[in-house]
Structure 1
Amino acid sequence: MAAEPCCVVCVASWNADLISRVARPIARGETLMASAFSISPGGKGSNAAVAAARQGARVALIARIGDDDFGRMGMDLWNAEGIATGHVECALGERSGVAQIWVYDDGDNSIAVYPGAGAGLGARHAQAAAELLAHCRVVIASCEVPVEVTLAAFRLARQANAITVLNPAPARPLPEELLALVDVLTPNESELFDLAGPGCAGSVDAAAALLMARGTRSVLVTLGAAGCRLYQRGQAPVDLAGRAMPVADTIGAGDTFTGTLAAALARGEALPGAMQWANAAAALSVTRHGAITGIPTQAEVAALLA
């Protein structure tokens, strides 16, 4: 009997997170002593895929890793989470990506990402996964992977009537063709303004309207502790308040939001309902240290919503 098709496909970035805890942001030329250090799985795409899997979705990856210990860390994680890796390429002689993360005492963070082997993802990888993309319900990507692979994957997803979700982080200029292929764009507030460009005068409403005018079907802006706001064509914005939670750190909260949103959409939730699941999952994620450790299960999110 053939395996049941995956309902969420993630065009995934992968890196190892090298996390140092420091009291505050480091000034140029300054050295601070860290109070703790850890190495853990990361990458926006990988994190979102794990979040979707923990919400009950059948998940598959399109990814590229290095032939090194960090790459093997990724494979071990995905196998443990039940994520399909048939379209993960191991690049001989290349290093996996690395993110250097500074976590501050208030829970906020700064991150520098080296994409490593992931920079070699291209349209050919999406084309090789054409059969996978033709039978899924949701395809997600971020701006940590090359735009060429996202464009190719989203074209195939649109042909299959799958929902496309793009987390535009880190923010960078996006081609009009890609924006027109996005069903749900999930920027935070600063990414929203970077994408919209000058002229929005700090207005979230105006920036979201501009992106929808450029072709994106809906914009779901994450606002941190303030919650999130959903914009859909021809409808009034929908606001969802944040949840007051004790913050351990905010690493991976946006990825948890995106992956949980994708899983909810894949099981048939409408966008406003899926947004509630994503908002609750992101709130839970900040109560624990690290990206993967912080990602909650479907049962935990259901309990919070109840």
Structure 2
Amino acid sequence: MTRFGYTLMTEQAGPKDLVRHAALAEEAGFDLEVASDHYSPWLTSQGHAPFVWSVLGAVAHVTERVELMTYVTCPILRYHPAVVAQQAATVQLLADGRFTLGVGSGENLNEHVVGAGWPAVAARQDMLAEALEIIRALHTGELVTYDGEHYRVDSARIWDLPEQGVEIALAAHGSRVIERCGALADHLVAVEPREDLVRAWDDLPDKPTVGQGARAIGQIPICWDPRGKDAAVARAHDQFRWFAGGFSVNADLPTTAGFAAATTFVRPEDVADNIACGSDLDEIVESVRPFWEAGFTDVALVQIGGDTQEAFLKQAAGPLLERLREASRG
């Protein structure tokens, strides 16, 4: 049966609100909670970008059952992979084994801030492979010295390690990153319900397939609003029209101004065509359906609008989860 998650969107709520939303999401019955790791929101109307690792530490202490995950961290520029290895191990200890490290090759929006430039996608994927080698090595608890093409590690050891380790989920927009980095990961992450990505994962040699030890974890935005479709569409257009650019555009834009300019001609009706908006829970269920039909084992929902989270979690999440689980069983 498909598992359903809630997204802690660090771009649309401050740290204390995110921790409160995490507790409410667990109460509502979500199976997992995924958290974005950004230095900047995509649009100024979103208005937030707290440090996700501090948030996750607090979330680990206000929740007991729900799984936690970064969706996703980029361990190649803004963070050195040795630092990510320590961050992930610490959160896993705080979460008592409920944490998965989701990683990807990043977005210029967040990574350019350290002044290291923005490599082409093929180079970023090569950097990601090295980063995962370092993280895996450090999670053994051994003393690690590493001299690669992109990174050096000098006599490093993670002193506080969880016994169960930290599983890694790899974000993929195409098959190349799966081929390049899949052997170093445990699970697949994708924001489009693409069966070809699941097949590419399943084609990896000597790896568990999706549903047989590996997971494919998707994510989809929704904009529930009890006032109806028009109010929801207006909010989604204001805060989430950046979504229309697609990964190939979004990964390279460096600033909120760039995202605003790139989405100038995205109309409210364009957003409504791509995001389920309004109070109709059945419409939301149908928007999620392509993920489980493509073979995804988990789907995390993004409720658009920081000031709508409590109402969504208290009023809509429970009935929506019931309908999603019933539909996915069928």
Please give the TM-score of this superposition, normalised by the length of structure 2: 0.36
Instruction: State the structure with more CA Rg.
Output: 2
Greater strand proportion = 1
- Give the TM-score, by structure 1 length: 0.38
Considering Cα pairs closer than 8 Å and 6+ residues apart, tell me whether 1 or 2 has the greater RCO: 2
